[in-house]
Amino acid sequence: MSSNISINHSHVLNSNDASFWSQPTPVNCDIIRIFGIYLCISSFLGVMINGLLLLSFIRHRQLRSPPNIFVMFITGMGLLASCTLLPLTGTSSVYCQWLYSRAGCYLDGIIGFLYGCASAYLLCAVSISRCYIIVRPLNAKKVTVGKSIIASCVVVFISFLWTMMPLLGWNEYTMEVGRTSCCISWYDRRPSYISFTIVIFIFIYCVPLLILIGTNTMAMIGLRRMREKLERGIQQNFSRKRIEMERRLIKSITITTCGFFVTWTPYSVAVLTSIFLGEDYGTPPIITSISSIFAKSSVIWIPLLYIKTSTHFKFGFVNQNVLDANGATNRVGSNEGTRARANINNSLHMETMQ
Tell me the pLDDT of the chain averaged across its residues. Answer: 79
Measured CA to CA, the distance from residue 333 to residue 344 in angstroms comes to 7
Mean pLDDT, range 57-62, rounded to an integer = 87
Say how far apart CA 302 and CA 318 lie, in whole Å. 17
More confident residue, 321 or 41: 41
Band of the pLDDT at 4, cuts 50, 70, 90? Answer: very low
Residue 278 CA to its chain's centroid (Å): 28
Q: Within a 10 A sphere around the Cβ of 142, how many other Cβ atoms?
A: 11
Residue 2 confidence (pLDDT) above 70:
no
Phi and psi at residue 234, in whole multiples of 5°?
-95, -35
Three-class DSSP category at 343? helix
CB atoms closer than 10 angstroms to residue 161: 11
In angstroms, the Cα distances linking 116 to 123, 136, 138, 295 are: 11, 30, 34, 8
Helix (H, G, I), strand (E, B) or coil at 330: helix
- Topology of domain 18-352, CATH: Rhopdopsin 7-helix transmembrane proteins (1.20.1070)
Looking at per-residue pLDDT, the higher value among 343 and 149 belongs to 149
pLDDT interval class at 262 (50, 70, 90)? confident
DSSP-assigned beta bridge partners for residue 317:
314
Length of the chain, please?
Answer: 354
Per the CB < 8 A criterion, the answer to whether 288 and 186 are in contact is: no
**How many Cβ atoms sit within 10 Å of the Cβ of residue 337?**
9
Q: How far is CA 314 from CA 126, 137, 246, 251, 308, in A?
A: 21, 27, 19, 17, 7
CA distance 313 to 322: 9
What is the secondary structure of 248-308 as a DSSP string? Answer: HHHHHHHHHHHHHHHHHHHHHHHHHHHHHH-TTTS--HHHHHHHHHHHHTHHHHHHHHHHH
In contact, 29 and 319? CB cutoff 8 Å: no
Asked whether the predicted pLDDT for residue 10 surpasses 60, the reply is no
Higher pLDDT residue, 39 or 219?
Answer: 39
- Tell me: the pLDDT tens digits for 32-54? 999 999 999 999 999 999 999 99
Domain boundaries, the chain: 18-352
pLDDT tens across 132-172, in order? Answer: 888 887 787 888 999 999 999 999 999 999 999 999 999 99
Helix-strand-coil split of the chain, %, nearest 5: 75, 5, 20
Residue 8 pLDDT > 60: no
3-state secondary structure of 14: strand
Helix (H, G, I), strand (E, B) or coil at 205: helix
Over 50: is that where the pLDDT of 344 sits? no
Q: What's the confidence (pLDDT) of residue 272?
A: 81
Contact 88, 104 (CB under 8 A): yes
Residue 128 scores a pLDDT above 60: yes
User: What letter does residue 96 receive in the DSSP assignment?
Assistant: T
Residue 1 has pLDDT above 50, yes or no: no
Rounded mean pLDDT of 267-279? 77
Euclidean distance between the first and the last CA atom of the chain, given in angstroms as a whole number? 46
